[in-house]
């Protein structure tokens, strides 16, 4: 499903990142290819068990070159304001911890049956298996960030315990 042209208002400037306790977010792009590939490919079962990714067809086996194509697509979506993907980094060593995806409802493997009239954005996030303890803190930080800095009223983002 193609993203709506008006996903965010014309005057809205998407944040270029977030710094939270133990986490740094920045727009995902091709420069993250090797570290991003390592993060998700080492954690596929863990990601599939993460709220929002159950039943998803991603992640799946693919090459480093195919991953680069995906990162280029996410960067293009960001530049064209169709969706916003952030890599989650450890602020002490720069290791990729995970990703956050902010897209219109019905995209990014989101539940296609979701009511786009009820939700104005679909958000999903994951962390690598060896940083699983950061899933809840990431969810809380991103939830607060969405409320404070984004133009959305009703976001669909699977809660964490």
Q: Of 14-18, 54-58, 119-123, which one has max mean pLDDT?
A: 14-18
Rounded to an integer, the average pLDDT of 61-88 is 97
Rounded to an integer, the average pLDDT of 123-131 is 97
Residue 5 pLDDT class (50, 70, 90 cuts): low
Rounded to an integer, the average pLDDT of 66-72 is 98
Q: How far is CA 37 from CA 4, 24, 85, 140, 160, in A?
A: 28, 18, 15, 25, 24
pLDDT for the residue numbered 133:
96
pLDDT for the residue numbered 106:
76
Residue 117 pLDDT class (50, 70, 90 cuts): low
- Give me the domains of the chain, ranges plus CATH numbers: 18-157 (3.40.630.30)
- Residue 15 pLDDT more than 70? yes
pLDDT for the residue numbered 4:
46
The pLDDT mean for the chain works out to 91
- Residue 91 pLDDT more than 60? yes
Report the SS3 class of residue 85.
strand
CA distance 100 to 105: 15
- Asked whether the beta carbons of 120 and 156 are under 8 A apart, the reply is no
- Residue 110 pLDDT more than 60? no
CA distance 161 to 154: 20
User: What is the pTM assigned to this prediction?
Assistant: 0.91
């Amino acid at each position: 499903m193609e993203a709506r042209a008006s996903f965010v208002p014309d005057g809205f400037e998407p944040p270029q990142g977030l710094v939270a306790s133990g986490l740094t977010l920045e727009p995902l792009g091709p420069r993250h290819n090797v570290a991003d590939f390592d993060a998700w490919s080492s954690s596929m079962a863990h990601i599939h068990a993460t709220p929002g990714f159950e039943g998803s067809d991603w992640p799946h086996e693919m090459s480093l070159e195919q991953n680069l194509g995906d990162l280029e697509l996410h960067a293009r979506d960001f530049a064209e304001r169709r969706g916003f993907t952030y890599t989650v980094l450890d602020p002490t060593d720069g290791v990729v911890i995970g990703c956050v995806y902010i897209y219109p409802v019905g995209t990014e493997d989101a539940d296609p049956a979701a009511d786009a009239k009820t939700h104005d954005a679909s958000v999903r996030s994951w962390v690598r298996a060896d940083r699983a303890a950061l899933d809840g803190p990431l969810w809380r930080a991103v939830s607060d960030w969405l409320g404070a800095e984004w133009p959305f009223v009703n976001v669909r983002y699977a809660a964490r315990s």
